Amino acid sequence: MSDPVIDNVPPASVVLVSGASRGLGLGIVADLLGRGVKVAAFARTVTPELRALAEKYPDATHFGSVDITDGPATQAFVKEVEAKLGIVDGLVNNAAIGQDSLHVHTSADRIAQIIETNLTAPLVLTRFVLRRLLAKGRRGRVVNVTSICGQRGYPGLVAYSATKGGLDAATRSLAREFSGRVLANAVAPGFFASEMSAVLGSTQLDSILRRTPSGHMTTPEDVLPSVRMLLLEQTNINGQSIVIDGGGSI
């Protein structure tokens, strides 16, 4: 896969979004559907909001209750998507679980669970989707949802940060490995308000807010334009991690 590809990678027409039950994942699904893109999405629980989108766009959606760590289930879901919507040429790896404990208080089993959910499973899913895409002679786009935690240290998030940093690194290697056949990028949001209230104390939260030039924490709406661009617009951005945190990390 070392020969360069001169033609541009076309916009994604069938996008698979993991972890789409709420928050950013749900926002990505709704945003793409509103722009005429066919969207498949899964999460451990199919929420009423997802069901409402399926009713609104019955011919352009396929949703399912799937745990991303269940390899056979995710592969079966991808095949269902292909049968209904067509070959998946856009992938958004958004599924993840968080952490809210100091490393010395986090059990080995919990560390393994975080790594399996946030890093191993997305890499396995990406492999499966891209193998099927390339076998059809097609090209595609991958957007990994990482985090500012992968680039900057925060207490209580050691294992979580390791997975997000790992996914950032994988993004760069994917871009190099597929030599233009796949545009692979990441978006690295700052803390969403709900995450911050659950993980960080009020003192640290106030400190982060004070040093954020934009004056507000990240929202899903802040991230959607970048995801949309990376999936749908003509771009030469590849192998990059776009930080969206209001300038808090500068």
* 160 has catalytic annotation: yes
Q: Region of 93 please: left (phi>0), alpha (psi -120 to 50) or beta.
A: beta
On whether the CB atoms of residues 64 and 77 are closer than 8 A, the answer is yes
Tokens of 40: 């498949």
Nearest to 116 by CA among 53, 80, 79, 67: 67
Nearest to 220 by CA among 88, 29, 34: 29
CA distances from 195 to 171, 172, 187 (A): 24, 26, 17
What is residue 89's three-state secondary structure? Answer: coil
**Phi, psi (deg, nearest 5) at residue 34:** -65, -15
Question: Using CA atoms, how far apart are residues 13 and 89, in angstroms rounded to an integer?
Answer: 7
CA distances from 73 to 43, 83, 114 (A): 11, 15, 19
Beta strands in the chain, from DSSP E residues, in sequence order: 14-18, 38-43, 61-65, 90-93, 140-145, 182-189, 241-244
Among 57, 77, 160, 178, the one annotated catalytic: 160
Catalogue the active-site residues. Answer: 160
